[in-house]
């Protein structure tokens, strides 16, 4: 046999099978897998956008809202659409919350200046004019916390 005949004999088992078709099938499978992964990534990105916007994802109404929403996937845009749909309530104005907190702080600070100075019972006893008055002062001192 010649060398050319040996060459063709090695390829005989592959007869009837096109190696290009096999490669094309592999590429088609890879494309299908990549498309599936891309769809999963898009779904995850969408879910993350809704989670960042503060939408309660477990709510049945929210599920319908998420399925039907076709706007921008920015959290602020989603939040605005959810507010318009009545799915969420508007957060209270932060400046009014801060003003109320400062007002409470001022009231606490003002209340600390109102307290009376400690009573000097010894001076009161020395200035007492009768034994009944001294007994009254001693009774008050026993009831007070700082004597």
| Tens digit of each residue's pLDDT (9 = 90 or more) over 15-24 | 567 889 999 9
Angstrom distances, CA of residue 22 to CA of 8, 29, 36: 21, 11, 21
Give the mean model confidence (pLDDT) for residues 108-121. Answer: 69
Q: What would the pLDDT profile of 51-98 be if each residue is shown by its tens digit?
A: 888 888 888 888 888 888 888 888 888 888 888 888 777 766 667 778
Q: What is the mean pLDDT of the chain?
A: 80
86 φ/ψ sector (left φ>0, alpha ψ -120 to 50, else beta): left
Angstrom distances, CA of residue 85 to CA of 12, 61, 72: 69, 10, 15
Model confidence at 37: pLDDT above 90: yes
């Amino acid at each position: 046999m010649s060398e050319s005949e040996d060459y063709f004999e090695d390829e005989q088992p592959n007869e009837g099978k096109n190696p290009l078709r096999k490669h094309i099938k592999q590429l088609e499978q890879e494309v299908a897998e990549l498309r599936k992964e891309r769809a999963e990534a898009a779904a995850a990105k969408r879910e993350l956008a809704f989670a960042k916007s503060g939408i309660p994802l477990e709510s049945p109404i929210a599920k319908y809202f998420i399925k039907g929403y076709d706007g921008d996937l920015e959290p602020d845009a989603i939040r605005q659409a959810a507010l318009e749909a009545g799915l969420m309530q508007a957060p209270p104005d932060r400046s009014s919350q801060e003003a109320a907190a400062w007002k409470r702080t001022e009231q606490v600070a003002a209340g600390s200046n109102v307290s009376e100075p400690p009573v000097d019972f010894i001076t009161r006893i020395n200035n007492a004019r009768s034994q009944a008055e001294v007994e009254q002062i001693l009774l008050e001192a026993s009831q007070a916390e700082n004597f």
